[in-house]
Amino acid sequence: MSTNYLREQRRSRALSTAEVAARVGVHPNSVLRWERRERLPAPEHIHGLARTLRADTGAIADFFDAVRRESSEEVATVRGHGLRALRTAARIPAPRIAAAMGVPAASVYNWEAGRARIPLDLVPALAAALDVDAGRLHDLLARARPVAAVRALSELERLRRRTGLSRTLVAERIGASRESVGAWERGRRPPLSAVRRLARVYGLPVGVVARAARVSAPPLLDARLWSPGDLPGVLRTLREWTGLTQREVAARCGCSVDAVRSWEKGRSTPRPGTRMLLETLYGLPGDELLRAYR
């Protein structure tokens, strides 16, 4: 495979580095460094590159795997798996290590994660940054246990990675924190409103995302199960599942927030004209809500 493979693929699609970067969700400089084989992308970015360049994901992965093999063959290196523990014990942040060594902070993170190995000619500078003997540092790094095998992806994380989006970008698009997105992917159940927004970002049916997040669809979403008197619960469930606030429903129906709150508490019912607006808002057939009226 040509060492210019990535650049050739981009140019064959008449794309600029800025256009590729925007679609993958990274800075244009990252694309340039990938093309020059100076940096390795994260797994989600490999998928994003493949989709953007309309190339086979395996071919993109092979290109970067070749970089890893060539790097290990051409340069004497040592594993960096043990670096994080040493750095943490010394209370030295990665950017400070990188600045002292004259390398990007990403290089330090890549060494620690096992995505790249530390060239032996950089070990003395690293030892100086950590204030340890170079020989001792080499022995500690060589003896460090490899990073544990990559954990199995959760179904929700798999859906995100298929889109090539990072957690940060997903969080920005659905109005949540990156930590929340990570917690959902690790098993915490997201609220129904978040499931709805994730489905929109991923371009998937809500049911697919709900199953991946292990969120059961509320029974009241099924109109066949509605009985007279269910209207308050039905309206609340439909609103939450759609990801709307009471204020947003009120704005779309031309009524007050108090009116929406009153419907959901069972103190009043929507008038016929408002009921039709609600049916349109929630994608229901005409007069469907009448099944839940008393």
Tens digit of each residue's pLDDT (9 = 90 or more) over 169-183: 999 999 999 999 999
Average pLDDT over residues 78-102: 89
Q: Per-residue confidence at 72, pLDDT binned at 50, 70, 90?
A: very low
Q: What is the pLDDT of residue 79?
A: 83
Asked, for residue 203, whether it belongs to a domain, the answer is yes
The whole-angstrom separation of Cα 248 and Cα 257 is 8
- 119 pairs with which residues across the strands? 77
CATH of the domain at 121: 1.10.260.40
Q: What is the pLDDT of residue 13?
A: 87
Contact 185, 162 (CB under 8 A): no
Q: What is the pLDDT of residue 35?
A: 85
Q: What is the pLDDT of residue 150?
A: 42
Does 81 share its domain with 70?
A: no
The whole-angstrom separation of Cα 110 and Cα 104 is 10
Which residues form the domain of 21? 5-74
- Percent of the chain at pLDDT > 70 equals 93
Can you say whether residue 222 is alpha, beta or left, with left for phi > 0 and alpha for psi between -120 and 50 degrees? beta
Does 167 share its domain with 203?
A: yes
Does 233 share its domain with 207?
A: no
SS (H, E, C) the chain: CCCCHHHHHHHHCCCCHHHHHHHHCCCHHHHHHHHCCCCCCCHHHHHHHHHHHCCCHHHHHHHHHHHHHHHHHHCCEECCCCHHHHHHHHCCCHHHHHHHHCCCHHHHHHHHHCCCCEEHHHHHHHHHHHCCCHHHHHHHHHHCCCCCCCCCCCHHHHHHHHHCCCHHHHHHHHCCCHHHHHHHHCCCCCCHHHHHHHHHHHCCCHHHHHHHCCCCCCHHHCHHHCCCCCHHHHHHHHHHHHCCCHHHHHHHHCCCHHHHHHHHCCCCCCCHHHHHHHHHHCCCCCCHHHHHCC
Choose one of 25, 49, 74: the last residue of a domain: 74
Contact 199, 206 (CB under 8 A): yes
Residue 70 has pLDDT above 60, yes or no: no
Contact 123, 117 (CB under 8 A): no
Averaged confidence pLDDT in the chain: 85
Number of structural domains in the chain: 4
Tens digit of each residue's pLDDT (9 = 90 or more) over 258-287: 999 999 999 999 999 999 999 998 888 899
Q: What is the pLDDT of residue 98?
A: 92
Tens digit of each residue's pLDDT (9 = 90 or more) over 221-263: 778 889 999 999 999 998 887 778 899 999 999 999 999 999 9
Does 160 share its domain with 139?
A: no
- Percent of the chain at pLDDT > 90 equals 30
Asked, for residue 150, whether it belongs to a domain, the answer is no
Average pLDDT over residues 132-136: 90
Choose one of 212, 231, 248: the last residue of a domain: 212
Q: What is the pLDDT of residue 68?
A: 56
Residue 84 has pLDDT above 50, yes or no: yes
Does 132 share its domain with 189?
A: no
Q: What is the pLDDT of residue 199?
A: 83
Residue 73 has pLDDT above 50, yes or no: no
Does 126 share its domain with 86?
A: yes
The whole-angstrom separation of Cα 92 and Cα 101 is 13
Asked, for residue 206, whether it belongs to a domain, the answer is yes
Average pLDDT over residues 59-83: 70
Q: Please report, as a single letter, which amino acid is at residue 177.
A: S
Report field, pTM of the whole predicted structure over 0.75: no
Which comes out higher in pLDDT, residue 118 or 243? 118
Residue 21: HSE in the Cβ half-sphere, 13 Å Cα cutoff: 13
